[in-house]
Amino acid sequence: MSVFCISDIHGNLDALKKVLKKVAFKYDGSDQLFLLGDYIDWGPKPIETLQFIKEMDEDYHFVHVIYGNHEWLMEHYLDTCLIREENKSYFEFKDNIALASWTTNKGIKSFNSFKKLSKEVQLQLYYYLKSLAKFKSLIVNGKRYYLTHSYPLESNYSKNEYDLFNNEKGIMVWKRVKANTNVMKKLNNHLENYILVSGHTIVKAFNSIDKDKKLKVYFDLQNQYINIDTGAKLIGYEDNYGYYGRLSIINLDNLQVTYSD
């Protein structure tokens, strides 16, 4: 059995299918797949990607899906639009600050695609977002891993659901891990023996680039941290940045990484 992780797909459905094919992912239950958030926005097929992942999640018990900050943006906006009546619920789309926050973060294609869905499918995706896990923990070959979109939960998080960036969800999808910092030992005594695997911050922030200017998975095992956001959202934007983003998939059995390019 192999345990694979992918993060920050950002609408690049073709890249997702490509890396799963490259590692010969087994759909018979002998492999497991953990997806660490940010399935929408930026890329060419944001809502199609979310729907594909939802179908995988529903069809296969060995696919585990975690919530990201772009799902947070989408859910937060849809919260402001949901109309509940006695016998039905639906969305009444509006132009507000929540929409501006989402579209400013490259969500306009996601929003426009979502609006074209039937009301039934819109509600299904909305409630699916609300069902997603914030983290998963597991042991692979004797090593303990804590999987989340960005940051482990702090013990002093805000209990106020309206304190959006400092409550449980907000911290885990928005707060960034800094270089040369062991957050597992710093924040959570019960997690001090775990390796954090997350995305959210593109590995360019840690200068994790190969000789061909391609982003590569960042390993800082001394500080119990692996970042797998190799900039898939930048696929197609290379000329704007001077380095190349791609989607990565890591096998936690041997820490081998496979890329979409």
Does residue 129 lie in a domain region? no
CA–CA distance from 54 to each of 49, 63, 66, 154, 219 (Å)? Answer: 9, 10, 11, 28, 29
Q: Is residue 21 part of a domain?
A: yes
Evaluate if residue 162 carries a pLDDT over 60: no
| 161 found inside a domain | yes
pTM value is 0.95
pLDDT-derived band at 171 (thresholds 50, 70, 90) equals confident
User: 């911050």: which residue's tokens?
Assistant: 201
| 209: phi then psi, degrees, rounded to nearest 5 | -135, 140
The amino acid at 145: Y
- Asked whether residue 98 is assigned to any structural domain, the reply reads no
β-bridge partners, 209: 215
Contact criterion met (CB below 8 Å) for 214 and 164: no
Residue 116 lies in a domain: no
Beta bridge partners of 33: 4, 63
Q: Is residue 95 part of a domain?
A: no
Task: Identify the pLDDT of residue 157.
Answer: 60
**Residue length of the chain:** 261
| DSSP tag of 216 | -
The domain spanning residue 197 has which CATH number? 3.60.21.10
Give me the pLDDT at residue 156, please: 61
**What confidence score (pLDDT) does residue 239 get?**
62
Average pLDDT, the chain: 94
> What SS3 class is residue 211?
coil
27 in a structural domain: yes
> Domain total for the chain?
1
* pLDDT band (50, 70, 90) for residue 106: very high
Report d(CA 8, CA 38) in Å as an integer: 5
Q: Which domain holds residue 49?
A: 3-68+134-259
Position 237 in a domain: yes
Cα 217 to the center of its chain, rounded Å: 15
169, 199 contact by CB (below 8 A): no
Tens digits of residue pLDDT in 208-257 = 999 999 999 999 999 999 999 999 999 987 766 788 999 999 999 999 99
